[in-house]
Amino acid sequence: MILKKICIVGTYQTGSTRLFNLVRMIYEKNGKKVYSRFKIPPEKINKIGNEYDIILCKIHDTKWCDDKNYLQNYDIILLPIRNILDSAISAGIRGRNTSTKFYINNCNINIDMFNKFVSIADFIFRYENYNVYNIKKVCAILNINLDNNEIIDIMIQLESMLNSKEIVKKDDHRDAEYHKTLFSQEHNTSNGKTNKFINLPKKQLDDILKEKNILTFLEEHFYF
């Protein structure tokens, strides 16, 4: 019998794939078998075989699914957050777009996405607070007990994945390993770096911060 169903929701370029694999590895470290996928169809959730202990899904939004109650299929909802300026820069790297308009639009998308799910999230994982202490918080939410060495081992595995040249270069849903990890070489746009926004041209940053809702969000979540 499947023990738990977890879904990671919302926000783009905020470390959601790292959180996805962190959760997967936490359970696997505890000897659980995990079915991990992107956008698991609602009709399939309850048909996944009992050979799995955990169902782990990642989505960004629920618009793709006609089932308005899709997230009620899950026991735990996790929501990542990251400085929306850094997220916009990462999106710009992947999309080869560094215009002010693009950055503002990306910030607004992530603000809307975060606000859509924050009230139902069981835990908010802050990109900038990726450390042993906060991984222990995730373990507590998942009801898994790992010691420091086990957590550090997972962090080493995630770091190795981040820099691996053996994984697929781009997102490829035909690849079996990609289905499991949702990770490709193009995911690493920051190498874990934070506060990338300080390198934006001053005028461009000023123009972005003139958008009141962007500055307000940054202030409310203690980035500014």
Does the pLDDT of residue 74 top 80, yes or no? yes
Which range has the top average pLDDT, 33-47, 59-73, 203-217? 203-217
d(CA 16, CA 125): 9
Residue type, 95: G
Q: Kindly state the average pLDDT of the residues 9-32.
A: 96
Spell out the residues 6+ positions from residue 129 whose beta carbon is closer than 8 angstroms to its own.
none
Domains and CATH numbers, the chain: 4-220 (3.40.50.300)
Is 175 within 8 Å of 168 (Cβ atoms)? yes
pLDDT for 108 equals 98
Confidence at 188, pLDDT banded by 50, 70, 90: low
Residue type, 198: I
d(CA 205, CA 55): 41
pLDDT for 50 equals 84
pTM of the model: 0.92
Q: Kindly state the average pLDDT of the residues 100-105.
A: 98
Spell out the residues 6+ positions from residue 214 whose beta carbon is closer than 8 angstroms to its own.
84, 104, 107, 108, 111, 208
Does the pLDDT of residue 193 top 90, yes or no? no
Does the pLDDT of residue 174 top 90, yes or no? no
Which token pair is 114? Answer: 């975060």
Percent of the chain past pLDDT 70, that is, above it, reads 90
pLDDT 10s digits, 76-86: 999 999 999 99
d(CA 187, CA 16): 11
